[in-house]
Amino acid sequence: MRVLEEPFMTREAILAVLGPGRPASEARFRTLRHNHYASRGLRADLRSPLGRVLGQAHFYSSLNADAARAARFGERRLAQGLADQAQEIERSHQAEVLREAVEVCGSRLGADPDPPVSLQRYLRARARASWRGLDQHAMTREWLIHSGAWLSEDEHGDLAEAIVELARRMSETRARLHCDALPPVSTFFGIVRRMDAVAAEVQGEAETRLLPREDLDRQGLAMVGQAVTLLCESLPAGGSLVLALPAVVLEAPEPSIARSPWDLPDGDGAMAVSTPIDAADQAWLTHGLAREPTAVPLAPIQKA
Amino acid sequence: MSFRRASGHDAQRFEHFRCSRGAFYEDEVEQFVCGVALEHALEFAGYNLLVFLEGERLVAVAGHHRENLLANHGDRTQLIMTTRLQVLALATEDQGRHCSDGRRVSALVLDTLINDALVGYEGDVLTAIVARENLCCLALLERHGLRSQVEYDALHVRLSGHFKRKPPIVK
């Protein structure tokens, strides 16, 4: 399994790192820019195949999240250094390759009457959990920045290559600028393996973490199989912050081969199908059984 | 609308039943329903196939069967007895349709299927395997109590929920 951070993020995600729990506002981002704590960002022009302007998507190197966090801790020079490096990355050839992919994907959306399933899922999830949920155009522009929107079109592997290179440059920059000098912060990459109404289990390379499902819902990430980045931070006055963001999955492990969902029981009488399940799935199911069962109302349709 | 167990007389209804609008997961269901579902239900008593009719018209087909989930823990195997909601297919013209009481036909059919799956049990674990892209079905099942999700294969997830019958009202 190879899960990497998304190379770009939205303005809202940067502001979520700057002030956890505070609503995103243009004014706060302008202040960041004014103090050189954020890069200029990239702009993708979205046009229909006939050239009609559909809108613009703005996005920023993910190093801006580190810069925002440094700014919150009062590490001004570090924040400015990170923002400068973020700008360098945004000027790179790889960033340009990905910007074009966003434009192509966005333009295709304008021509296609049926939005892709991942966009439909994103809009549904965020509509329930975000104050911006009603603004579908803004949500669509946010979705376009996620690699899930355009990575499937990567026939020659150029986009994956660009993502790997940008991830390498970002982690090199973090090491060079000693970002680890900030209070305890860790980044966890993994894939959502199990989920219920309350919690979700994210499996990383070496460990598995649990987080409230709501945290994934808010970001439009509550889906089994979704790759996520968890930015984890111990807060100075106690407690901790976990911010879930999308991630890129480049080499997903194939789930163990299951029998076809359409296989039917055979034999006679009330014989049941026996299906082997993973021990972790069984544990998850057993946890669920400990909860209060759902009460079933009487059958609303009469038996003939 | 009423429902009953499917019988050999329904063969023609099954043949003409259409529930797919073209998505791969809808095609899977339609192929199953129009292909092997009835034949299998008639052959094996353990497979319960229900038909939902409005007059003579087939509105929906739903099926369930018992399923034992076996988890291997090395030296021992743990068994969870469940009932799988194996299929729920709504005719294309009834998808999204509301009844006179304002409830969706899909919700009524699912409630009835859940009830039928629990016949003979005070409470039970119900499961269903759904295509990850079938957002409407995932939302419907979650609303009706199948809230736990685990990976099944690259295209499907297994949903499960724990159900209990409401005690009858004694007057």
Are A56 and A168 in the same domain?
A: yes
Instruction: Chain A: give the shortest CA distance to residue B19, in Å.
Output: 16
**Best residue of B43, B140, B148 to probe chain A, by most A CBs closer than 10 Å:** B148
Q: Which of A223, A262, A291 sits opposite B28 (nearest CB)?
A: A262
Chain A to chain B, count of Cβ pairs less than 8 Å apart?
180
**Residue A212 in domain:** no
A166 and A281 in a single domain? The answer is no
User: Domain range holding A285?
Assistant: 273-304
Measure the CA–CA gap between A240 and A213, rounded to whole angstroms: 16
Does residue A199 form part of some domain?
A: no
C-alpha distance from B132 to closest chain A C-alpha (Å)? 8
Q: Is residue A98 part of a domain?
A: yes
Which residue, of A120, A152, A183, is where some domain finishes? A183
What's at B123, amino acid-wise?
A: G
Say whether pLDDT at B103 is over 70. yes
Q: What is the pLDDT along chain A (304 residues), one digit of tens a residue?
A: 789 999 999 998 999 999 887 777 888 999 999 999 999 999 998 877 677 777 888 999 999 999 999 999 888 999 999 999 999 999 999 999 999 999 989 888 866 777 888 888 888 877 766 655 567 788 888 889 999 888 887 778 899 999 999 999 999 998 888 777 777 778 899 999 999 999 999 999 889 999 999 889 888 899 999 999 999 888 778 888 899 999 998 876 665 666 788 887 665 555 678 888 888 999 998 888 888 888 887 778 888 8
Rg for chain B, CA atoms, rounded: 16
Question: Same domain for A285 and A172?
Answer: no
Do A175 and A301 lie in one domain? The reply is: no
Q: What is the ipTM of this complex?
A: 0.85
Q: Which of residues 55-74 of B touch A (CB under 8 A)?
A: 65-73
Is A56 inside a domain boundary? yes
Domain boundary among A119, A153, A183: A183
- Give me the residues of B, 8-27, that contact A with CB < 8 A: none
Both A296 and A158 in one domain: the answer is: no
Whether residue B61 contacts residue B49, with contact meaning beta carbons closer than 8 Å, is answered with: yes
pLDDT tens sequence across B115-162: 999 987 777 899 999 999 999 999 999 999 999 999 998 889 999 999
- Is residue A200, in this structure, part of any structural domain at all? no
Q: Are residues A24 and A157 in the same domain?
A: yes
Q: What's the rounded Cα separation, in Å, for the pair A209 and A203?
A: 6
Q: Is A188 within the bounds of a domain?
A: no
Q: Which of A279, A288, A304 sits opposite B4 (nearest CB)?
A: A304
Structure tokens at A225: 């199989």
> Measured between alpha carbons, how far is A223 from B131 in angstroms, rounded to an integer?
12
pLDDT of residue A15: 93
Residue A214 is assigned to a structural domain of this protein? no
Residues A279, A178 share a domain:
no
pTM of the full predicted structure?
Answer: 0.86
Q: State phi, psi for B47 to the nearest 5 degrees.
A: -105, 120
Q: Does B100 contact chain A (CB < 8 Å)? A: no
Number of domains composing chain A: 2
Residue A35 lies in a domain: yes
Q: Out of A183, A212, A233, pick the residue that ends a domain.
A: A183
User: In 3-state terms, what secondary structure has residue A272?
Assistant: coil
CB contact under 8 A, B69 and A282: yes
Question: Which chain B residues touch A271 with a CB distance below 8 Å?
Answer: 44, 46, 66
Test mutation, B1, B146, B150, chain A, max A CBs within 10 A: B150
User: Who contacts B95 (Cβ-Cβ below 8 Å, separation ≥6)?
Assistant: B19, B21, B106
